Structure 1
């Protein structure tokens, strides 16, 4: 199965999942419409916008998340970025990005598929990121590093996230904690 086929299946499954609010369902349909109109809509070269994959690195036993201070945007965000031709699936792209940007080995995807969708504008030449957001669980002995894409990488307690990150990250943390039953 191609990454494009996987993305269509993931988004159709996400859109039809119980518990999704109307805004998230509509967003899922806009992702599907984008991919239908742009067969290259997974790739950075699609200037109309492209699908990205991100993952919140979470450490539930310690009640914390690992965020990156994004070099270009200068914002505290979850790990994530562009799909690459070698990615077999969106979830694999999110896991790869989390590993690359955090330096943490032994990350595992939180089961159940993507937690949220977040479409946001980005500077030219592209116009939109259609982000598919996952969460990954950090191992107990997680050691992180700062990648070339970051100015800093730091752990934040759940209660600190709203003080440093935007609403998208706060909503993603809420969805992760809900899936974890916290």
Structure 2
């Protein structure tokens, strides 16, 4: 597909979507809606209802096969880090990296095992006092840290927790995050056996 013709004003986002291969009918439908969203004046704007882009990431510590979840007050759920692009931001991975640093304090976050999109999912968001109910077209990545002990929540209402993939699958209430976790688990190296004490 010609990304320059599809969205000349946002080629990075168009290239990302063009190169992504959705898995299954549900993600294929989400992907088709995301492609149509490229025609919006600002597909990242909170004012683009009922659907706009967000970028998020599951933070992993590959040596221990652990993942970092964050309590999201509005969603009332343990989720990955991420959120909206700031004004002028157009690169999904850069948004996920910024959000990751802000929400966890981890300065060494890097795309892992590469910069590929690992999951695209439409996530319903309930109405609040300032926004109607809407949907996030969430673009998900994996980010790794080598310093998991340095993770710090950005505020007391948003604690962080390192969990095994299996613990995270039980902790979250969101099936779409369970799918992201399953995709991460397939990429993570086997657990290292500790030497006998």
For normalisation by structure 2, the TM-score amounts to 0.81
**Residue 69 and residue 56 in structure 1: after superposition, are their counterparts in 2 closer, same or farther (change >3 A)?**
same
Q: Does 1:9 align with 2:29?
A: no
- Residues 54-65 of structure 1: matches in 2 within 5 Å? 54-65=56-67
Which of 179, 182, 187 pairs up with 1:179?
Answer: 187
Any unmatched runs of 5+ in structure 2? 191-197
Distance in 1 between residues matched to 2:95 and 2:45, nearest whole Å: 12
**Residue 127 and residue 41 in structure 1: after superposition, are their counterparts in 2 closer, same or farther (change >3 A)?**
same
Which of 114, 121, 125 pairs up with 1:122?
Answer: 125
Deviating beyond 4 angstroms after TM superposition, the runs of 4 or more aligned structure 1 residues are none
Q: Does 1:168 align with 2:169?
A: no
For normalisation by structure 1, the TM-score amounts to 0.87
Deviation of the 1:61 alpha carbon: 0.8
Distance in 1 between residues matched to 2:72 and 2:85, nearest whole Å: 17
Any unmatched runs of 5+ in structure 1? none
1:89 aligns with 91
User: What is the alpha-carbon root mean square deviation over aligned residues?
Assistant: 2.3
Aligned length: 178
Q: 1:3–1:90: 8 Å Cα contact kept in structure 2?
A: no
Distance in 1 between residues matched to 2:119 and 2:51, nearest whole Å: 18
2:160 aligns with 153
Deviation of the 1:151 alpha carbon: 2.4
